[in-house]
Chain A
Amino acid sequence: MATTTLPELKAKDFKGKVDPDWCPGCGDFGLLNSVQKSLAELGKQPHEVVCISGIGCSSNFPGYLSTYGMHTLHGRALAVATGVKFANPELTVIVTGGDGDGYGIGGNHFTHTARRNVDMTYLVMNNQIYGLTTGQVSPASPVGMKTKSTPFGNLERPYNAVTSSIMNGATFVARAFSGHGKQLVSIIQQAIEHKGFSIVDCFSPCVTFNKDNTYDFFRERIKKLEEEDHDTSDWKSACEKALHWDDKIYTGVYYKDESVPALNDQEPVLEAGPVATAVPALSKEQGDRILKRMM
């Protein structure tokens, strides 16, 4: 879509109709600010962007943006986003949600959307807890974590979003921390500009229900990949680095593969333009041909 005649926008122009209802100090604020800033800096217009979420604290995200949005069912945002992108690939599709929404109930869609390499950006606000339901264990909770549903400590091993994304076929995989805004904006911008499925697994501390994985917890451990001479084409090294947890936690772009075309760019039907805006009818000639074939 041509944007040349449209006004240049600021981050505040991407603020939604209402202010966030997140708890004071919630990590999700960092994400929201970074997305608004990223969209402005990338020269996007609100109507060119669709932000799609599932259910959870972080899934209120689209309501805090001035773009188009869909606040869908729990776990289903990536499926809905797939429909949006294939119906109109000209739209910039951003999916937001939490670790429970994406890695738990939405796990099947996550696996396959990454594998398909549909061109969209998935921002996961990973707080390692179920916040909106007042603090139960999540697929990303560490072993031993005490929550309302694991009062004696979590026995399950946590989901590793970085290694899983790489193995599932995502072509842009990053990890971030909502307390490090500058790096986050840079990652989000790269993710949006990437042609294919990009995921940013972003630690977004839940100040109310997760007393283990706090801002301090992350600040003490985080090392930035861009300062470590990391090769983003080396998936093995990326996976090894993603396994670190107790000693150090790497953030940054782990893995990037620009050689795989986005699935929506390979779809012949879309060569004629978006199906969403195509004339919803067959031409006389098409209709006659189909009917003749069915004789």
Chain B
Amino acid sequence: MSSGYDFAFAIGGAAGQGIATPGNILARILVRRGLNLYAYNAYQSIIRGGHIFLTVRVKDEPVHSHGDKLDLILALNQDTMDRHARHVVPGGVVIYNSDDIKPAEVQDGVQLCGMPIKELTEDNRNKLVQNTVALGVMLNLLGVEFKVLEDALALQFGRKGDDVVADNVNVAMAGFDHAKMNFKPFASALPERDKPLAVWTGNDAFGMGGAAAGVKFYVAYPMSPATGVLHWMAKNARECGIMVRQIEDEIGVANVALGAAQTGARTMCATAGGGFALMTEAVGAAGMMEIPVVFINVQRAGPSTGVPTKTEQGDLWQALGASQGDFERIIVAPKDALDAFNTIAEVFNLVDHYQCPAIVLSDLLISEGTFSVDPDAVNMQPTIDRGEMITEAGSSDGGYQRYKITESGISPRAIPGVAGHAYVAPTDEHDEDGVLISDEYTNPHKRRDMVEKRARKMSTFHDKVAAPELEGPADAEVTLIGFGSTDGVIRDARVLLEAQGVKANQLAVKWIQPFHADAVTKVIEAAKKVLIVENNYSGQFHRFLRSETGCRVDGHIRKYDGEPFQPHHIVNGVVDHLGDKKDVAKDVYVPFQEILV
């Protein structure tokens, strides 16, 4: 059961100062103790320099967002100290190298923990040594025995040899002892639970989800923040029997995907909005040729090159409008890493059944966020349903029609190589045989039949995919509606609102196309006050909801500065909308981003 433990620490410095290593070591220690975490890393598009700020929130129950408070900061440079020390809450600590960094002003009750690095490490000239010393300090303050850190260091540095492990253990011990003698530990020690958890990024989850769902072909071009999927796939492909290819550009990627999927392999590709823009003509081709294929678009702040390392939900209309023409597609926006994992298996069964393309809308927040996951909730062998597929040679009487007009609209799909079923899959409109109708006499009736056949396929979609359900008290004063990655932060905001006496419920939308318009309309019509929460300026999700439901809503909470919502941003927005609306302009509340990263 939860003890209410809720602790957040941050590590800040410049790119190249080795923030990832202590971050990974700590994350591993935490999940091995069975603690839940969510980590958000704010960074820029450079390899050296800039400002990186990794926030890790730890609880002994599921963590939905990186939260509102900071209990501990490890400042690896003066910049971090100057920017962030004041954000540490009373009772918290700031750890820093006192040889190089001057302490900044902090709130009352914040402990400044300077580490005399030269003295503690006998003048070790390795610049990264301060990170290991700091780990010793941190774990001491968190009330964790040194052995735990020693084991974690052995695991982290084992490949580099025993000397490196010993050096790290020694300096970590120096930090641990220095803290024991000089600093006051936190009032509550880091809890420990019996079952270790897994730790994934959202991109890991997409890769793993693909592997579990039977993806046999993954193709990509590197683009932040989607590259993690490629890395996962490249690393694990051989073991899982997955063909992984990096192609010359995203146009090529999407078209390689069409070829592989048409040939029978479950095929996936991931990119960011810019790459997806290049892929879009192929999305329509998949619609016309009726090829099941999954495109993941990890949204980052756009348009154009935009802010490559920042998050946004700005590609919704890009997904809705991807490719010219009028055709059927599935769009789904997962909510977190575990949901991302599960979504891949779900969506592959759907695209195989409906023989159409699907777009998975992720964003930087999910894809590059690090989540703890309960391994018991992970099914590596999900149900796999490939739909009406012909993989064995049958009749050779020449009667096979790939695009046969059926009552369901679904035509059994033969894959190349199967004798007696050869046909051409065309990007041109075609008849039941796959013969082009766009040349010579077009035949408007055939065109109408084929358009209707493809559209008819989706009529059973809502039997297979459940509508979103309202969560929270039915008599809530306010209903918060969001899609995809805002699910968690809205969840946290509702708890805070309740503590302030404001009852809120939420509708977290995941399946966007085909949309559950009737169910969502009912929720909006029954709600006392509806606010829409989304990570973009123009209210893309609101405009979509309006077009699908015809409903008006009462207000909006939007953020488009590149940084994700924190729970208090939404709380403040709700309070303002319910009260004097001092910060609401034209029904839109835009929170102020306090942490500058």
Interface residues of A (CB under 8 A from B): 1, 6, 16-18, 21, 45-48, 50-52, 55, 60, 62-63, 66-73, 76, 79-88, 90-91, 108-109, 111-112, 267-270, 272, 275-282, 284, 286-291, 293-295
Contact = CB atoms under 8 A, between A and B. Distances in A.
B217 interface: yes
A66 B422 contact: yes
B423 A71 contact: no
12 contacts: A50-B416, A70-B289, A79-B259, A82-B245, A82-B252, A267-B243, A269-B241, A275-B217, A278-B265, A279-B214, A280-B216, A295-B197
Given A46-B422, A67-B422, A269-B241, A83 B427 contact: no
Given A47-B416, A269-B237, A280 B375 contact: no
Identify the 6 closest CB pairs spanning chains A and B, nearest first.
A83-B259, A280-B214, A287-B380, A69-B424, A79-B255, A83-B260
Nearest to B348: A280
B216 A276 contact: yes
B25 to A, nearest CB: 15
Contacts of A290: 208, 211-212, 236, 239-240, 380
Given A276-B265, A289-B239, A90 B417 contact: yes
B135 interface: no
A70 B384 CA distance: 26
A60 B264 CA distance: 23
Nearest to A281: B214
A91 B417 contact: yes
Contacts of A86: 217, 243, 245, 256, 260
A73 B239 contact: no
A280 B252 contact: no
A170 to B, nearest CB: 15
B545 interface: no
A203 to B, nearest CB: 24
Given A47-B417, A276-B417, A83 B198 contact: no
Interface in B256-277: 256-267
B217 A83 contact: yes
Interface stretch (B47-55, B142-150, B435-443, B444-452): B435-443
Interface string B193-229: 0001111100010001001111111010000000000
B161 to A, nearest CB: 23
A1 B31 CA distance: 50
Contact of B417 (A76, A88, A108, A112): A88
A73 B427 contact: yes
B418 interface: yes
Interface string B107-124: 000000000000000000
Interface size class of B (residues with CB under 8 A): 35 or more
Contact of B248 (A72, A109, A284, A295): A109
B177 to A, nearest CB: 31
A284 B212 CA distance: 10
A294 B380 contact: no
Nearest to B243: A275
A17 B423 CA distance: 9
Q: Is the interface of B mostly helix, strand, loop or mixed?
A: mixed
Contact of A291 (B238, B378, B423): B378
Given A83-B261, A267-B243, 11 more contacts: A47-B393, A63-B426, A84-B259, A88-B263, A91-B263, A109-B248, A112-B247, A269-B238, A272-B241, A290-B240, A290-B380
B285 interface: yes
Contact of A84 (B31, B242, B386, B416): B416
A16 B240 CA distance: 39
B340 interface: no
Counting chain B CB atoms within 10 Å of each CB, the highest count among A80, A111, A289, A295 belongs to A80
Nearest to B196: A295
A277 B264 contact: yes
Contacts of B259: 52, 70, 79-85, 87
A16 B424 CA distance: 10
Contacts, number: 223
Contact of A69 (B213, B238, B425): B425
Nearest to A295: B198
B391 interface: yes
Contact of A294 (B198, B214, B281, B416): B198
Contacts of B196: 295
Contacts of A52: 259
Given A87-B217, A108-B252, A111-B248, A276 B435 contact: no
B381 A281 contact: yes
Contacts of A294: 198-200, 204, 208
B282 interface: yes
Contacts of A18: 435
Contact of B380 (A16, A267, A282): A282
B56 to A, nearest CB: 17
A263 to B, nearest CB: 9
A6 B386 CA distance: 29
Interface string B128-172: 000000000000000000000000000000000000000000000
A87 B436 contact: no
A281 B211 CA distance: 7
A207 B381 CA distance: 59
Contacts of A83: 217, 219, 255-263, 267
Contacts of B262: 70, 80, 83-84
A80 B258 contact: yes
Counting chain B CB atoms within 10 Å of each CB, the highest count among A18, A87, A267, A289 belongs to A87
A5 to B, nearest CB: 11
B214 A276 contact: no
B240 A87 contact: no
B380 A17 contact: no
Contacts of A278: 216, 241, 265
A87 B263 contact: yes
Contacts of A288: 380
Contacts of B211: 282, 286, 290
Contacts of B241: 269, 272, 275, 278
B251 interface: yes
A295 B381 CA distance: 17
A286 B417 CA distance: 28
Given A84-B263, A87-B259, A280 B422 contact: no
